[in-house]
Structure formats: C-alpha cells, structure tokens
C-alpha cells in the first residue's frame, strides 16, 4: 500500500483524523 494519502478538500474532514494521519506520516493536501 502506498504510504502517501492524499485528501482533497481536507477542510471538510475531521481535523482530528487529519492530525492522526499526519502523525502516522501520511501527506495531507488541502
């Protein structure tokens, strides 16, 4: 599985989920 996770329009997602994803090393694109 690709370690990079791209979420478009991150502002519409839970900030908690985004923070956890960043902690796990995923790349979040808003």
Helix, strand, or coil (residue 16): helix
Residues 4 and 29 sit within 8 Å (Cβ to Cβ): no
Q: For the chain, give the percent of residues with pLDDT over 90.
A: 0
Gap between the Cα atoms of 15 and 2, Å rounded:
22
How do residues 12-22 score in pLDDT, each as one tens digit?
557 777 788 88
Question: pLDDT band at residue 7, thresholds of 50, 70 and 90?
Answer: low
Arithmetic mean of pLDDT, 4-29: 69
Residues 30 and 15 sit within 8 Å (Cβ to Cβ): no
Q: Which among 1, 6, 2 has a CA at the least distance from the CA of 30? A: 6
Residue with tokens 């900030």: 15
């Amino acid at each position: 599985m690709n370690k990079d996770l791209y979420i478009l329009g991150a502002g519409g997602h839970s900030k908690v989920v985004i923070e956890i994803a960043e902690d796990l090393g995923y790349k979040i694109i808003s």
